Structure 1
């Protein structure tokens, strides 16, 4: 089975690579009459016809190779269409009509010529005997029962799939959209983090936008214009302020570094005095404290090293900013 297509009045199965060369089976159903009241327990749809189509079997002659077999259930007929030979325009066909009371188990089917009609595309083809035609019709009646069972089984499979699908949909837990901020807690947290990040960026931008010469201009009264001496004074003041701040920060880091070293030395001296009488737990605690102290020393050392590297880089940036600042050049217009 390759695929299955079902509508209200049709059910079609498509097949590939079958040994019997069956390509597809199509069942046509009769519409159910609308009824008022409780629904019937029997939900099967009445079948009007079932059509089976077969691919070419090259081991048989075209006149013996069935192309289409129509089980006209409502009309009590079997219509067989054979493959068309390349030498003929039309294919051969054969129609069987079920006799009256054919489904009565106590009834014995009697053959007569009215039960079948044959069209031979070529008169030279061998005609089937009455005996062969009789057994052919009996075989078709048996096949029809099996084909109806297959159609009903296909219906049941489809109903089962639909039922399981409905159960899955009813039992499924719907995910709340990330855009539904009223019900999605993760979305609320995410939006809060985004807002915090935006506020932080705004604060940094405000700090960045502050005029770096503002405190030095305020010291000389915020003049509209300055002279060359004042321009040089502003330049020197900005450079000195940067150096002082860098040195203060470096001194703080150095003092913290030296304090950590002294504390580590004190711990080591204490350990040397009390090593003999220490328990295993005390030794482990001492080792843990030493490891933490060494970690802090490493971090402080790296920060101090990084500060010195950045201080040189930032000082060069300040020099470039001072050189490019139009206020420190003629005509020395501040505002």
Structure 2
């Protein structure tokens, strides 16, 4: 029964799969003759992979198995995208036995359909894609280390764990004090540059020695491979000269990673081939591939099967010569007769087609797991994405991967705009990153557990009205950073009397008294420096207000003013005012000092500002509590976007939105897009809750306007009716104009 199914499936394949053309038969004869001569001249070397059978059991020359496709997908325009797709889309079938060449080499179409392939079928598909994108690419048959042949990446560092990528630095008062431009700069310490360079070289040498010892220990831990140098592997060689490739390099098709040609992972090369010719390596590989030359036109180092056939390099040179001759006006000259040689026949493989669905759901079974050194990376297809997870990286503390140290997840199409989430179990830190367009313009959210309480940090986009960029709340401190404010405020630091809990259930009823508020301002060039406040401090518990002005030119100390609030300041007045409550320091003694009236006015204004600042701080704390509560709710009620469904719903509601759009044009004085309802569905990343509230206000105003118009119409009708009764004549033209006031 199985044989009948196989034969039926073979009948559906093109004729080129089931038979050979005369050119292919001639090429097979040449290949067999070449194999006999090669075995006779090089008896110590293994046979070459020249004519394996395809999925129909028909012998085919390996070069004819390459079929350069023409793709329309932008992801496959570069070699990185092609290598990544092949590595993700296929699952490895190891060679059995691992020291012998495969007897079957299926077509790229069959491989794409089954999503299972040997390393040779991996390389054939990848090389076909690269040649189709005009790369000078070749399949390489040779020998590699065990880990590469078996796709074992457990000894490699995960590429997503980059030590150079640092987390966002914390904002602490100590750091701010160090960066304060008014702090006294320390005297430069005199040091020898020579000694510093020697110390640096010594540290680098020690680090290199430690790294070498670490690698040696890892190698010693590995079991010695008895088949080292004998394991057969196939990969891809990309030569320089095309597509701005400057240097030759290898690509491992199993992982999609590029390597230099002198990499220790590759132990030797038997042959290389592309869709134009097949070349046998005649160089010594006792030192691996480090000393090899890849000039395929050099007959001393590479022996071609089809002698005289055109190579990629020769074709490029011929095209350039023809262009040059055409420019010089020699295009009609008769070319010299060149003896004809056997060129590579046309590929027997049907056109390779990669669908957009295959690119989207590229992992076999909807999921792919890669194990690295003390880490594991999971990738998910669209149909297998639980809670919108695209990929998950798990880092472990030990080599056996038993204790989790950190979990990082990447998301897509979530209703809460979440893109990344990292849970650090060692430091007890949870970090979330959002894309633009979220409510309250939140971009970054981090919760860190401290010995006492927690620290909450938030970053915001520049779309906020108050120009808030960053906010950090520790148990007894609160920091806000601003950018681009009209009042030049850049920094606010608040000290509380007791701890503030955002994550507790009773946190909303708690109000922590404020002890101190420190505000810093950028320089306002429209004011003199001695009138432009640089720092404003409200010592609420001590009833003090301190002002520090910006430095003037050629001065080391700024001017300062200190106010003592009167006893009845809590009532909002400053009637009990005296000069004893003021302490001033003016750097420039030639300037006229402040008068008592001016100082009294400044004190009253500062007391009003203090009340506003306290109110703003309470609002900020409340906003942070609301954000924390909202995040807890969103994590419990997570939803994914369905863009197609949102568009369908929006089109159904378009008919009833004409009047609302007219009112929006009237009150917002701008053209409303025809897809405003689509934006409200969440398709527009910049639609937030503020716009929604504005729409509600406009709707209410619209209803009020309609009611007033109807009331006016009723009044006019009543007056018109009375006029008709009294006069019995037609109404005047002025009233006729108001007959339809709408």
Q: TM-score, normalised by structure 2?
A: 0.22
Larger strand proportion of the pair: 2
Q: TM-score, normalised by structure 1?
A: 0.47
**Structure number with larger C-alpha Rg:** 1
